[in-house]
Amino acid sequence: MAAGWVRLALLAGCVLGALSPGRAQAARTYSREANQAAAAAAERGTADIEFRIAKLNQVWDKAQRLQLSPVKQAELHSDLKIQEKDELNWKKLKADGLDEDGEKEAKLRRNFNVILTKYRLDGRKDAVSLDTNYVKDSMDSENDVFDDPKLEKLWNKATTSGKFNDDEVRKLRREFQHHQDKVEEYHILRETVSRNEDIHQNVISPSEAHMKEDFLHSKHAELKDKHRNVQASFERLRTLIHQGYDENSEFSEPRVLELWDMAKRSNFTGDELDSIKEELKHFETKIEKHYHYQEQLDLSHQKLKHVETIGDKEHLSRNKEKYAMLTEKTKELGYKVKKHMQDLLARLSKGGLSHNEL
């Protein structure tokens, strides 16, 4: 019996060895055994297991090795929690045969790639560029570098114009980052469509070809929508730089403004729009609270490093407790904000918010 297990182990090793490095990694990452082990460890309460899915733990471990700033780590944790929830829900759908065309699976892969790109965990940036500080980035334009040259040029124009005070620069930085996230999502979707077009050329079965054509048609439509959205977002930034912030505007947070514009373009009644506006006000308050904890977390991190150099054990213990509390609170709020955003987008895109949802 033992010899049989040895032969199986050797066979598995040969199979993995025959794969390319990328595929071998994928085989390890997506193996059922690894995911089951991660889930079992999570249920046992193992301290070093954050997620029930192996690949998410690998991303989390890599981020910690690369020493992302505390705020970035908290943000990444929230994104991975959302990804985990969506992937676990998808597994249930797949078991019930409700994703035959693979559309939901493709969306999950794209969302995962967006996370890797957003936090520079896709291997295209070195570790030095990862250690960014949220508050410093918000206030120091010289350290803000955007991938898009047009965006970087517009940012430099905004921060040298003298038109915006410190609070407005902070809000403006959020808008620019929000736009860059959209651009990255657009490029990832475009790469997805391009890869599927290449695969489509090699499809033999007529039924497979028809399914792939339907898939590509939906992806091209989504790609056009995202491209229009990116263009509209950039035009908003240009207008904002030229005119400044409108003091009479209903909202100031870019994600809330986007949702409010979506609501106004839909066929809602006046009463429905009033209900949506109240919901969005609550959402904006939640976002501002999240930003507040991000700033407090960063300040706590700086203070903790200072206390560590002094060597005062009593102060160090208190600061570690506060830092741990702020870390967990920032993660919690980050998850709630992103989940709320996800829910609002889904509900608004369906045409309304029912009264029991408000």
Q: Given this model, what pLDDT does residue 47 score?
A: 47
Q: Given this model, what pLDDT does residue 89 score?
A: 93
Q: Does domain 133-245 have CATH number 1.20.81?
A: yes
Domain 249-358, CATH number (from 1.20.1740.10, 3.10.129.10, 1.20.81.10, 3.40.50.10320): 1.20.81.10
The answer, yes or no, to whether residue 3 has pLDDT greater than 60, is: no
Give how far Cα 85 sits from Cα of 80, 82, 92, 94, 232, Å: 9, 5, 11, 14, 31
Question: How many Å apart are CA 66 and CA 143, to the nearest integer?
Answer: 19
Q: Which residues contact 262 (CB under 8 A, 6 or more apart)?
A: 345, 348, 349
- Average pLDDT over all residues of the chain: 77
Question: How many Å apart are CA 223 and CA 185, to the nearest integer?
Answer: 10
Residue with tokens 């506060």: 322
Q: Given this model, what pLDDT does residue 136 score?
A: 39
Q: Given this model, what pLDDT does residue 18 score?
A: 40
Do the domains 249-358 and 133-245 match in fold? yes
The answer, yes or no, to whether residue 351 has pLDDT greater than 70, is: no
Q: Structural domain boundaries of the chain?
A: 18-115, 133-245, 249-358
Question: Of all residues in the chain, what percent are helix, strand and coil, respectively (each to 5)?
Answer: 80, 0, 20
* Contact yes or no for 71/43 (Cβ under 8 A): no
Q: Which residues of 182-211 are buried (b: 16+ CB within 10 A; e: fewer)?
A: bbbbbbbbeebeeeeeeeeeeeeeeeeeee
The answer, yes or no, to whether residue 1 has pLDDT greater than 60, is: no
Q: Given this model, what pLDDT does residue 150 score?
A: 87
Amino acid 214 reads D
Q: Given this model, what pLDDT does residue 204 score?
A: 56
Q: DSSP letters of 7-35? A: HHHHHHHHHHHHS-HHHHHHHHHT-HHHH
Q: Given this model, what pLDDT does residue 207 score?
A: 60
* Contact yes or no for 135/298 (Cβ under 8 A): yes
Superfamily of domain 18-115: RAP domain (1.20.81.10)
Question: pLDDT tens digit string along 281-293?
Answer: 999 999 999 999 9
The answer, yes or no, to whether residue 7 has pLDDT greater than 50, is: no
Question: How many Å apart are CA 72 and CA 77, to the nearest integer?
Answer: 8
* Contact yes or no for 31/23 (Cβ under 8 A): no
Question: pLDDT tens digit string along 21-70?
Answer: 443 444 444 445 455 555 554 444 444 689 999 999 999 999 999 989 99
